[in-house]
Amino acid sequence: MLKRFWLLLASFTLLLPLSGCWDSKYLDDLSIVLAIGIDKDPKNEKNIKVTLQVVVPNQVADSQSGGSKEGIPVTNYTGTGETLVKTFQSMTHLTPRRLYFSHNQVMIIGEEMARKGVENLFDIVDRDPEIRTDFGVLIAKNGTAEDTLKTITTMEKIPVQQIYGMIKTLHQRVGSIYPVTIRELIQSIESDKEDPAIPSIEMIGNANEAQKKSNTEQIEPENYLRMDSMAIFRDGKLIGFLSENDSKGLTIVKNKLKRMIIEIPVGENEKVTISPIHNQTKVEAVFRNNKPMIVIKVEHKASVLDNKSTAIKLQDNNQIRWLEKEAERIQRNLIMRSMMQLQRMNCDSAGYAKFINQTSPKYWNKNKKDWEAIYPGIPLRVDVNVTIVGTGIRTRTYLGDK
């Protein structure tokens, strides 16, 4: 989607000097917003500080047409105000073109702002038809949205493209995060049956150095963006961050898992690595003696990625079954630890309340006012079934051939 957008934008920009049509005037009047950052205003507790990252059209056109300019193809504008509406309005004094939000790709919220509370931020997003609600939301862990959007990235000239790629890769390959759109966030804030979980992004290094182009002129940049965990909310406020492994557990329970790796120890120093390639999770609430219990059932179909064990012969069905059982144990423990951590945080990001309400609306309506006291003690059962469906073209490690 992003590549197509950049090609279209570059094409339109290149055609502007050649055309006198209404469309050329229209595009020439727009500042296309790619990212919105929201922070607390350090000078006024009542205000928010907004950073908008917008396209520099001539730089985009030049880079797409093979020109020699090496300018940065985006620029940032910042402004403050009591609401997003007022802040957007105040920022019209900073740009010669009308701010245009239909191509916005991401909203980043600074950690301090998120801890203060986000539930009152999004009315304009939900109301204005020009602002799409399918863009992603991120929390700037240990930092601000402004510093995150100032970071000049190495792999992509436009930071939003790198951020978008990180979200996609981590979701599809690692499983430590899953994307959350602004529409999904608003729905979970409105719900009394599920607490929001949002991917986090962290700027590693020095924020001032990260915005210099020289930062990208090193083989190993000292200042860079990192993404590996989910931020957890309750009552519209950030409570904390899950670890990478606990985030993987939540991804599985939410039925959002695409791929991950499972390392199975064999003896003291060897291991076999498998990857689930087809995944299905079902969650339900069951009642025993009028008390709820959550049952999570996970199905993984996996393939072997790496066999570093001389003891494991992948053509042996008994050893395959042993690997499956070990993988089931590992995944069960991963999920249990993740859900227990959420219960310790008293944040129902897995949606236990939703499943209890589906099974027994009567129980939920009677007990929802006491949910914060009930939720941490809800018992859990996790059933995992792993089936290895592929072992690759080699059945033994080459190490065993020595």
d(CA 400, CA 308): 9
pLDDT band at 141, cuts 50/70/90?
A: very high
Closest CA to 116 of 47, 51, 185: 47
Burial pattern 135-165, b for ≥16 Cβ within 10 A else e, equals bbbbbbbebbbbbbbbbbbbebbbbbbbbbe
**Residue 36 contacts by C-beta under 8 Å, 6 or more apart in sequence?**
50, 51, 52, 53, 101, 104, 106, 107, 108
**pLDDT category, 292, cuts 50, 70, 90?**
very high
Going by C-alpha positions, the residue among 129, 135, 44, 124 that lies closest to residue 85 is 124
The pLDDT score that the predictor gives to residue 216 is 73
110-129 tens-digit pLDDT: 999 999 999 989 988 888 88
| Closest residue by Cα to residue 197 from 241, 155, 163 | 241
In the chain, domain spans: 2-241, 260-401
Question: Other CB atoms closer than 10 Å to residue 323's CB: what's the count?
Answer: 24
The Cα–Cα gap between 158 and 176 comes to 24
| Residues 17-45, mean pLDDT to the nearest whole number | 76
pTM for the whole thing? 0.89
End-to-end CA distance of the chain: 49
Question: What CA–CA distance (Å, rounded) separates 390 from 392?
Answer: 6
What pLDDT, on the 0 to 100 scale, is given for residue 25? 43
Mean pLDDT of the chain: 89
What pLDDT is stored for residue 19 in this prediction? 46
Asked if 300 and 327 count as a contact pair (C-beta separation under 8 A), the reply is yes
Residue the block writes with tokens 């205003």: 41
Alpha-helical (H) ranges within 16-110 are 22-28, 57-64, 84-90
Give pLDDT tens digits for 338-391: 999 999 999 999 999 999 999 999 999 999 999 999 999 999 999 999 999 998
What is the distance between the alpha carbons of residues 121 and 108, in angstroms, rounded to a whole number?
12
Q: In this structure, are residues 349 and 286 in contact, taking their beta carbons and an 8 Å threshold?
A: no
Q: What is the pLDDT of residue 60?
A: 56
Q: With contact defined as beta carbons under 8 Å apart, do 244 and 176 qualify?
A: yes
**Does the structure show a pLDDT above 50 at 318?**
yes
User: Is the alpha carbon torsion for 128, 130, 134, 138 positive or negative?
Assistant: negative
Residue listed under structure tokens 């047409």 = 65
Quote the pLDDT of residue 1. Answer: 56
Tell me which CATH code domain 260-401 carries: 3.30.300.210
